[in-house]
Structure 1
């Protein structure tokens, strides 16, 4: 009788533990193609900034160019990673400068596309997103 009771308690404990593990796991994010991501971002920007048709086409082109450059950077980094070559400090600094230049160029293009009030709103949205990213990163570091 004791063995049966212990076995039943052990079974109940295992089942409840398994259910808790399922509930705490993060939901999987859907994988979007670069075009789908660009379209999603364009829709979001259109609704938040009230873009007109001309601005939408310009922003769409800008997003496509930006994602193509990001993909090429990603492939270049992956190629270096696959060859097991760690980047030197100079290469890291050059890459960081290149990324900064890309961000500034993107910012200048958006400034030329958007009206003044839209641009300030876009910059505020970027700052909010940056803060959210920092919070998520901090949370991930605390709870690996």
Structure 2
């Protein structure tokens, strides 16, 4: 009897944790682009010790990126709701990858113009760490799908 109760309790805990994890992503979607840009700029200010003019320049970049992300999220959500969520063709994937890489190159160039050498090196290191973390999460996600 105790074992059954413990198993039921563990399953409930897993369900609650899973629901909270899904909720976190939803909260980020509820923020306005201006709020996202402000938060990201403040985080970068703390990390890189930015002066006021750097903060203003980076806020503009972050705002532009937040608006772009928000538009992409809305587009994906609309496609999901209308059941148009088909896998992109090889050409479409190539085009999306090229757009993303062009955007990253432009971002690096803008950041290099705004930040000094020490700040830029710190930013690059943080980006690499973030990329590795996201890659790890993607591996876990795909491993979970394969197990099912």
Q: TM-score range by the shorter chain?
A: 0.7 to 0.9
Structure 1 unaligned blocks of 5 or more: 1-8
The answer to whether 1:37 aligns with 2:36 is: yes
Q: Report the Cα distance in structure 1 between the residues aligned to 2:61 and 2:12, rounded to whole angstroms.
A: 41
Q: Is the 8 A contact 2:44 2:50 kept in 1?
A: yes
- TM normalised by structure 1 equals 0.77
Q: Which residue of 2 aligns with 1:91?
A: 92
- TM normalised by structure 2 equals 0.76
Q: Is the 8 A contact 2:34 2:63 kept in 1?
A: yes
Aligned length: 134
Q: Is the 8 A contact 2:36 2:63 kept in 1?
A: no
RMSD, aligned CA: 2.3
Q: Is the 8 A contact 1:42 1:60 kept in 2?
A: yes
Structure 2 unaligned blocks of 5 or more: none
Q: Which residue of 2 aligns with 1:73?
A: 72
Quick check: which has more Rg, 1 or 2?
1
